[in-house]
């Protein structure tokens, strides 16, 4: 019966009106695949590839461009251009992360970042003076902030918690691909078509990638169009779109919360240790999906920037992940200014052959990144990170032993295989930190990741260059490798003592205490 007396509509009528409004809203073309796990991961991975490709393209061509403009001290000027990128990355990450999380919109920042990337390439291509180049690199740094903060947050918004490590690992393959393709393509295009050719190529790649960003449909937008789209992927994390009906929603609502499970179930005697150390199958706040994939929290906590920083600083788990990211950035970037000089002085390689060495070093990371992310989902981020750090440690020493070029290539490839494998479980750990802290969103936590990596990539080349310049080539290379080995060792200690929800050290101490508590009881029982 319709309401003809002018009374306020009851709850049923309000729901019917809302349903009618949603049914009239036009359903976007390709809603399922445009908001699916595989498509979001693919677009973010391509965006990371584009970012690193544009970043690395200037290495072989900008020095010659500066010389043609009449500048001297070119190596120092190139170093400041690299620093401008890293500086912008660090400075602009906090506001971008804060605004992205406050307004809960990922697509618009991604599009704005792409526009900044295109503009920066036009500036670099036509720059008449050095300061214009610096402005262009700052614009590139701002664009990188967007993809590394908002892009990774978008993956975590979309992907089920149980496969987030694998998907982040797949996206992180873009780092290796960008570094692999950028310098040789830029050098070849510059030789064949002139200075502007690499930048035109970069603009074309960026424009094509922009189409992918335009096609993205965020999960929240999909749910506004179709309320039954409470989850856009299958339970096994496949890319096939699944719509949950009311029956599924009722099942999720009927499942007990963590508090109910704890309060209503009593563990059998003697099994507390096994239960406490077993992998947690139930997320901290909601029983079936990650916090970002549910609407349970109607009034989300909004922290100020000082409050957010204070909460992160109080979390050993968050600080350990930040430290591991910082050390990874230092270790990887410290090799960049040194490796070409070492290969030239030790093995007599020219530019083209040095490029082949880079290819041999980068290719293993295409395996390690997704593999370590996949294992982080199954064995835990602690185990995956520790395995990579332990396996990388001996190769930091073996790689500076001078035998021949073949030996060096094998050692350096194995070093990169394990060293680059650490970043995927660390990014998955950042996502887990977000789910454990109220008021901290994915945009916030990947902002911290971005700042740490930006600082590491800014400090690393300075450390590597200073160590190498103040010693002979062989001793300088050895000093750098030993420094990185020590940093990897410290990172391993941090992983054992502070990393994860329940650290390795806490588990060891707990087992020791339980063993001491059980032993007297067993002795007494045996005596009786």
* 29: number of Cβ within 10 Å: 9
pLDDT computed for residue 305 by the predictor: 65
pLDDT computed for residue 287 by the predictor: 37
pLDDT computed for residue 328 by the predictor: 93
pLDDT computed for residue 505 by the predictor: 85
- For 307-517, the fitting CATH number among 3.30.420.40, 1.10.510.10, 1.20.1250.20, 1.20.120.1200 is 1.20.1250.20
* 351: number of Cβ within 10 Å: 12
pLDDT computed for residue 524 by the predictor: 64
- Which class for 245: exposed (0-12), middle (13-18), buried (19 or more C-beta within 10 A)? exposed
pLDDT computed for residue 292 by the predictor: 42
Q: Sign of torsion, CA 79 84 90 93? A: negative
Compute the C-alpha angle 318/323/325, nearest 5°.
95
Can you list the residues of the chain whose pLDDT is less than 70?
1-25, 75, 226-305, 351-352, 519-528
Q: How far is CA 175 from CA 55, 201, 246, 372, 422, in A?
A: 11, 18, 42, 15, 13
pLDDT computed for residue 243 by the predictor: 35
pLDDT computed for residue 263 by the predictor: 43
* 142: number of Cβ within 10 Å: 21
pLDDT computed for residue 266 by the predictor: 44
pLDDT computed for residue 430 by the predictor: 92
Rounded-to-integer distance, Cα 383 and Cα 378, Å? 10
Domains 29-227 and 307-517 are alike in CATH topology: yes
Side-chain-side CA neighbours of 65 within 13 Å: the count stands at: 27
**In 147-283, which ranges are continuous DSSP H helix?**
152-158, 164-193, 196-215, 219-225, 246-254, 258-264, 272-277
Domain ranges of the chain: 29-227, 307-517
Q: How far is CA 291 from CA 100, 278, 412, in A?
A: 17, 21, 40
pLDDT computed for residue 526 by the predictor: 65
pLDDT computed for residue 103 by the predictor: 76
Rounded-to-integer distance, Cα 298 and Cα 433, Å? 21
pLDDT computed for residue 252 by the predictor: 40
- For 29-227, the fitting CATH number among 3.30.390.30, 1.20.1250.20, 3.30.565.10, 3.40.190.10 is 1.20.1250.20
pLDDT computed for residue 520 by the predictor: 66
- Which class for 313: exposed (0-12), middle (13-18), buried (19 or more C-beta within 10 A)? exposed
Report DSSP state, residue 268: P
What is the pTM assigned to this prediction? Answer: 0.72
Q: What is the pLDDT of residues 247-274, one digit of tens each?
A: 233 334 434 444 444 444 444 444 444 4
pLDDT computed for residue 461 by the predictor: 82
- The helix (run of H) or strand (run of E) holding residue 126 is helix 107-126
pLDDT computed for residue 268 by the predictor: 44
**In 226-315, which ranges are continuous DSSP H helix?**
246-254, 258-264, 272-277, 305-313
């Amino acid at each position: 019966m319709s309401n003809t007396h002018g009374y306020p509509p009851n709850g049923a009528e309000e729901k019917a009106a809302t349903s009618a409004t949603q049914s009239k809203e036009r359903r976007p073309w390709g809603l399922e695949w445009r908001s699916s796990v595989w498509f979001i991961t693919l677009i973010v991975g391509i965006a990371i590839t584009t970012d690193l490709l544009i970043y690395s393209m200037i290495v072989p061509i900008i020095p010659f461009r500066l010389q043609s403009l009449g500048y001297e001290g070119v190596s120092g000027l190139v170093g400041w251009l690299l620093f401008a990128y890293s500086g912008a990355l660090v400075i602009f990450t906090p506001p971008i992360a804060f605004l992205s999380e406050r307004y809960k919109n990922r697509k618009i920042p991604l599009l704005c970042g792409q526009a900044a990337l295109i503009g920066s390439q036009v500036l670099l291509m036509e720059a008449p003076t050095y300061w214009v180049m610096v402005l262009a690199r700052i614009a590139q740094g701002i664009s990188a902030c967007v993809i590394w903060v908002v892009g990774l947050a978008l993956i975590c918004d979309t992907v089920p918690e149980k496969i987030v490590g694998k998907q982040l690992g797949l996206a992180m393959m873009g780092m290796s691909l960008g570094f692999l393709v950028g310098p040789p393509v830029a050098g070849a295009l510059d030789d064949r078509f002139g200075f502007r050719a690499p930048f035109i190529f970069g603009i074309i790649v960026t424009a094509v990638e922009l189409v992918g960003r335009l096609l993205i449909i965020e999960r929240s937008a999909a749910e506004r169009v179709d309320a039954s789209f409470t989850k856009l992927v299958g339970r096994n994390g496949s890319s096939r779109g699944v719509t949950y009906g009311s029956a599924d929603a009722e099942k999720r609502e009927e499942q007990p919360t963590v508090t109910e499970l704890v309060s209503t179930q009593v563990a059998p005697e003697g099994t507390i240790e096994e239960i406490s150390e077993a992998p947690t199958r139930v997320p901290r706040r909601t029983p079936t999906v990650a916090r970002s994939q549910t609407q349970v929290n109607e009034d989300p906590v909004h922290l100020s920037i000082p409050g957010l920083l204070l909460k992160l600083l109080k979390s050993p788990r968050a600080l350990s992940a930040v430290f591991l990211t910082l050390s990874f950035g230092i270790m990887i970037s410290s090799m960049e200014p040194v490796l070409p000089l070492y290969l030239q002085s030790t093995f007599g390689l020219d530019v083209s052959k040095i490029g082949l060495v880079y290819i041999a070093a980068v290719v293993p990371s295409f395996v390690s990144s997704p593999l370590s992310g996949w294992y982080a989902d199954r064995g835990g981020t602690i185990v995956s990170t520790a395995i990579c750090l332990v396996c990388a440690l001996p190769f930091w020493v073996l790689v500076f032993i001078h035998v021949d070029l073949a030996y060096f290539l094998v050692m350096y490839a194995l070093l990169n295989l394990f060293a680059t494998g650490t970043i995927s479980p660390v990014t998955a750990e950042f996502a887990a930190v977000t789910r454990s802290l109220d008021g901290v969103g994915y945009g916030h936590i990947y902002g911290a990741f971005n700042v740490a990596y930006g600082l590491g990539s800014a400090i690393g080349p300075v450390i590597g260059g200073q160590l190498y310049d103040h010693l002979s080539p062989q001793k300088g290379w050895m000093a750098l490798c030993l420094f990185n080995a020590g940093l990897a060792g410290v990172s391993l200690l941090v992983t054992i003592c502070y990393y994860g929800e329940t650290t390795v050290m806490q588990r060891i101490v707990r087992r020791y205490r339980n063993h001491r508590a059980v032993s007297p009881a067993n002795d007494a029982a045996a005596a009786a």
